[in-house]
Structure 1
């Protein structure tokens, strides 16, 4: 059994020294994005105005849908009208709907419980264009504004109109953070070139392992097992690697399929030191791989 570093490809916490693998937020499987230029409160559930948007945020949270406020970089329009997206990000059958609402009161007609279950909420037509979200939520964490805002401007210059600024996405210590929807891929500790490379990879249907945090909606050990197999095999297609099973509680044992090749992965919990100060205390856990074996073959690691 050979032990190795948790992630040679994935530095984090603004320094390039700490791993960020398996740190995508676990809860979200469905998303509601609502254009609102701000100001944004510290926590999205504290939003009071405009009232229809605040009500939609509360209804989404109650239904088990992840709400995000979004806005364009630079000059921002008020609402109405407002751009709205609904997305489901788990499994291979991911999708996203999009529509511009003339009146935010129309948000009340959305079936958010259907969205939480992976069905259309009745927003509008499906869209093939992805959305690239950059967290710039300075009231939640200063690093997100300081590092996220210039990155959002740079990405918007390269990939407009796909790019939006957004509220807290989880993992402040990994700012600047990028979330790629509808598939829910998370990247962290990004500079401009890393963000551009991650976005370009997403648009061609691939994962860029450098600064890859994982896929939202999956348990962290599942994200870690996927990451280790990708790093070992070099297989980068978004849907090309699947965790078939996960058992145990540190050490965990996973069976992972990568383009028809199956691996046994044994991984363990680890804890890393706090990163950038008192505001960045989230996501201190990480994982190390203690064994990665091609099933029915000799150990490869």
Structure 2
């Protein structure tokens, strides 16, 4: 992966020309967001100070929780106090807790194993407000700062305190990237118009399929199956898809899935294929995309 200089010579990677569906980070199903104005190291686990935040980041990774450093756009306040969120994105029972800590040492009391398992870590009250994360991690990849920072400022103008800049969320070549918590829906290749549409949709309980990378914390073939069934049925509600079961087709690069969408069930076959890499393989960590090969409404005639 390119470090530090990004993909300035690869305009196609940021123009929506390369498919970004089914590229959301598979392992990010539980989240710990900790306010830290910076500077941010290339890898969050290399953070040295403040020590309580650094240890919380490393403890989260050991527990299988995704740690993200967050900060406000523009002029940043010194901390403490620091804003902290815990969120769980897997399954249908998603949630987030929020609290402002006056002493960073309080992070050590969080039960991160519980958070990884989908239970409260003891942070604070559940919050009904969404959190919008925009990756601006320039030390990780320059494109994230170049495209993410102005996008974060634009979103903050419209959505205020719901918006945070954050460290690496995966998929550098899809900058600018947006994550909508607590559901974990991720978008990439975003310009201002697309980002505003995605955030607006999330606030009204929907996704937008344009530039949707997928849902973090779920396997890529599952993300692809959900995307194609939503597109076919025109169902965009956050909770419309209630279950997806996937199995690999032996000896192929295909996956067979059953998607529960409202009262309907769909059988779908998707195939993993390689997409072109016009700026070379170092531009991103995942060059796969998915195409749909078969889509059928169960107990009905084939639809495609």
TM-score over 0.5 for the pair:
yes
The answer for the alignment partner of 1:8 in structure 2 is: none
Q: What is the distance in 2 between the residues matched to 1:244 and 1:280?
A: 31
Q: What is the distance in 1 between the residues matched to 2:217 and 2:143?
A: 24
Among 292, 297, 300, the residue aligned to 1:289 = 292
Q: How does 1:115-264 map to 2 (within 5 A)?
A: 115-249=115-249, 250-264=253-267
Please identify runs of 4+ aligned residues in structure 1 that moved more than 6 A: none
Q: 1:98 to 1:164 in 2, by over 3 A?
A: same
Secondary structure at the counterpart of residue 257 of structure 2: strand
Unaligned runs of 5+ in 1: 1-11
Task: Confirm or deny: 8 A CA contact 1:225 1:243 kept in the other structure.
Answer: no
Secondary structure at the counterpart of residue 145 of structure 1: helix
Task: Confirm or deny: 8 A CA contact 1:24 1:170 kept in the other structure.
Answer: yes
Q: What is the distance in 2 between the residues matched to 1:226 and 1:27?
A: 17
Q: Check if 1:86 corresponds to 2:89.
A: no
Task: Confirm or deny: 8 A CA contact 2:97 2:123 kept in the other structure.
Answer: yes
Give the drift of 1:194: 0.4
Secondary structure at the counterpart of residue 201 of structure 1: helix
Q: What is the distance in 2 between the residues matched to 1:279 and 1:199?
A: 30
Q: 1:267 to 1:278 in 2, by over 3 A?
A: closer
Secondary structure at the counterpart of residue 14 of structure 2: coil
Secondary structure at the counterpart of residue 160 of structure 1: helix
Deviations 1:148-200 (CA, angstroms, capped at 9, x unpaired):
00000000000011000000000001000000001101000000010000000
Task: Confirm or deny: 8 A CA contact 1:173 1:275 kept in the other structure.
Answer: no
Task: Confirm or deny: 8 A CA contact 1:226 1:243 kept in the other structure.
Answer: no
Q: 1:277 to 1:38 in 2, by over 3 A?
A: farther
Give the drift of 1:251: 1.7
Cα RMSD after superposing both structures: 1.2
Task: Confirm or deny: 8 A CA contact 1:35 1:70 kept in the other structure.
Answer: yes
Give the drift of 1:129: 0.6
Give the drift of 1:44: 0.5
The answer for the alignment partner of 2:5 in structure 1 is: none
Deviations 1:188-240 (CA, angstroms, capped at 9, x unpaired):
00000100000000011101000000001100000000000011110000110
Task: Confirm or deny: 8 A CA contact 1:180 1:186 kept in the other structure.
Answer: yes
Give the drift of 1:17: 1.2
Give the drift of 1:29: 1.2
Q: 1:182 to 1:109 in 2, by over 3 A?
A: same
Unaligned runs of 5+ in 2: 1-11
